[in-house]
Chains A and B, each alone.
Chain A
Amino acid sequence: MAAETTALRPSASPLATAWARLWRSRRMAQRNILVYRHQWIIILSGVFEPIFYLVGIGLGIGAIVREVTVADGTVIPYAAFVAPALMATAAMNGAVFETIFNVFFKLNYAKTYDGVLATPMGITEIALGELIWALLRAALYAVAMFLIMLPMGLVLSPLGILTIPAALLVAASFAAAGLAGTSYLRTVNDFDIPMGLVVMPMFLFSGTFFPITIFPEPIQVAIQLTPLYHGINLIRGLSTGLFDAMDLLSVAYLVAFFAICLWIAMRQMERRLIK
């Protein structure tokens, strides 16, 4: 569909076409904002989830544990160890809740995208639009978390400000992964699979609440293959100031993961929507 629209204007350069698509995709995000106007509590309540975990685990357990020794032998307060990880998981949750539950509903029940496709918007615009919206939601969670961490003294380095763009990268990766995965789900009971077998285990095992070095080597390697591990590693590195050149690998991992997932998402959406 989008291909037809651009075919009408053969003079447009590929860059201009790409920009036009990106610009058009804002409509998808605008639509979501309009829908959520009456359900803002759903979005806003998500802000509190990482904060509750920070107080409950970070301070509650932190009062007993006090300090944790990270990979290079540096000792940091337990709450400062957990907080950046919760920022990463908040970005992940914001992105996957949006792209799994809501996109599934729009794809299979509300048939929202069938309606959207009757406009000048195509598959690319839908995917990008949902991505932008998920990013906005995740950005809210990441910034809120950062603003809580700051006065609590949990941002240990000036590099900490970079946790916000890093959280956006994490959110973009998971939003793309969510979009790609949702198109494979058939019924509401299938939500158990991405949530119970992917999101929950990553939340628990990616070094959120304790260093992964407590596990045997093969399990550590398996954990290092997951995107959340890299998200946490990156954000924690920035907020504690322990960031080094090796952590650029995490950035590379997330960028590659994002690109691959986005490609799968577009291909799958096309398959599901254009028959």
Chain B
Amino acid sequence: MTLAIASTRVFRRNWLVYRRLWHRSIAFGFLQPLMFLTAMGVGIGSLIGAQQQDAFGGFPYLHWLGPGLMSAMAMQTATFESTYPIMNKIMWGKNYEAMLSTPLSVRSLVGGELAWVAFRIGTLAAVFLLVLAAFGIVRSPLAVLAVPVAMLTGVAFSACLIAFTATQRNDVGFSAIFRFVVNPLFLFSGTFFPLTQLPDALRAVAWATPLFHAVELIRGLVLDSLDLATAPLHLAYLLVMAGIGAYLADRLLKRRMAG
């Protein structure tokens, strides 16, 4: 069985489970951006005067925030999907043990899971984009490219987290990941306020973190303000992260399933 076909089998397994829950997932997929945009975008936006808009590249705060939240959604969904559910398949439910007793390989497990995350985030990002369009935030037809960028972001985070999950013996580490990695990235990657508000040292740190690159790309595509000089760098960062993550996930999961 080739890797592609084997990965499809893993994908299909996830699909069969998800089929019973998809309507709820899509409903929350609509609701969450709607709530965040009304509360943070409209609410905080109402406190930001016209002169202060310069800090946000001249865009109204709601418009500036929307694509940032879309990027953060990709990260959060990928993180959640790659911690508890993967741990369940490794340890609590032992699904992988069963799957590996078939012709499937560890590599196809990783491939299938990453394809699954790409699919989940693809649908949620499309929903998010519709909500952004309804708010009148989308300024260019190129904004549809924000969906594949969100998928890439999701895969990059997911691959790294599958690698991390493969090394864990219980779920205690996940709290630390959510609190000390995901939350700070959510708040300090230029999602809610421009990095120009940060001291220089912190700005350099933000440049080194992954969500920042996703935010820059997605915001640029949605608001039609993409900086073509830096865009390839942002894209390269996410691709490299996805590649390294997938390599580590494969190695560490192999080690875990062997031991």
Interface residue? B128 (CB, 8 A): no
What per-residue 1/0 map shows which CB atoms of A38-67 lie under 8 Å from chain B? 110110011011001101110011011100
Interface residue? B257 (CB, 8 A): no
Q: Among B35, B55, B175, point to the contact of A42 (Cβ < 8 A).
A: B175
Report the Cα distance A200→B36, complex, angstroms: 9
Q: Among A49, A60, A64, A197, point to the contact of B183 (Cβ < 8 A).
A: A49
**9-residue interface stretch from B24-32, B113-121, B148-156, B211-219:** B24-32
- Determine if A64 and B172 form an interchain contact, defined as CB atoms under 8 angstroms apart: no
> From DSSP, what is the main secondary structure of chain B's interface residues?
helix
Report the Cα distance A64→B186, complex, angstroms: 19
Interface centre among B35, B42, B43, by most A CB within 10 Å? B43
Interface residue? A246 (CB, 8 A): no
Q: Among A39, A56, A78, point to the contact of B188 (Cβ < 8 A).
A: A56
Interface size band for B:
20 to 34
- Determine if A64 and B55 form an interchain contact, defined as CB atoms under 8 angstroms apart: yes
Q: How many residues of chain A have a CB within 8 Å of chain B?
A: 31
Interface residue? A68 (CB, 8 A): yes
Residues of A within 8 A of B28 (CB): 192, 196
Given the known A-B contacts A57-B187, A60-B192, are A189 and B21 also in contact in the complex, defined by CB atoms under 8 Å?
yes
Q: Among B39, B173, B183, point to the contact of A52 (Cβ < 8 A).
A: B183
Report the Cα distance A205→B42, complex, angstroms: 11
Report the Cα distance A46→B42, complex, angstroms: 28
What per-residue 1/0 map shows which CB atoms of A199-234 lie under 8 Å from chain B? 011001100011000100000000000000000000
- Determine if B193 and A210 form an interchain contact, defined as CB atoms under 8 angstroms apart: no
Residues of A within 8 A of B44 (CB): 57, 61, 65, 209-210
Given the known A-B contacts A48-B180, A56-B187, are A61 and B193 also in contact in the complex, defined by CB atoms under 8 Å?
yes
Residues of A within 8 A of B192 (CB): 56-57, 60-61
Report the Cα distance A60→B44, complex, angstroms: 12
- Determine if A204 and B24 form an interchain contact, defined as CB atoms under 8 angstroms apart: no
- Determine if A45 and B43 form an interchain contact, defined as CB atoms under 8 angstroms apart: no
Which of B38-60 touch A at CB < 8 Å?
38-40, 42-44, 46-48, 52, 55
Report the Cα distance A52→B31, complex, angstroms: 24
Residues of A within 8 A of B226 (CB): none
Look across to chain B and name the residue whose beta carbon is closest to the beta carbon of A48. Answer: B179
- Determine if A201 and B35 form an interchain contact, defined as CB atoms under 8 angstroms apart: yes
Residues of A within 8 A of B178 (CB): 45
Q: Among A39, A61, A192, point to the contact of B172 (Cβ < 8 A).
A: A39
- Determine if B172 and A42 form an interchain contact, defined as CB atoms under 8 angstroms apart: yes
Given the known A-B contacts A52-B187, A57-B192, A64-B48, are A214 and B43 also in contact in the complex, defined by CB atoms under 8 Å?
yes
Q: A residues near B, CB below 8 A?
A: 38-39, 41-42, 45-46, 48-49, 52-53, 55-57, 60-61, 63-65, 68, 78, 189, 192, 196-197, 200-201, 204-205, 209-210, 214
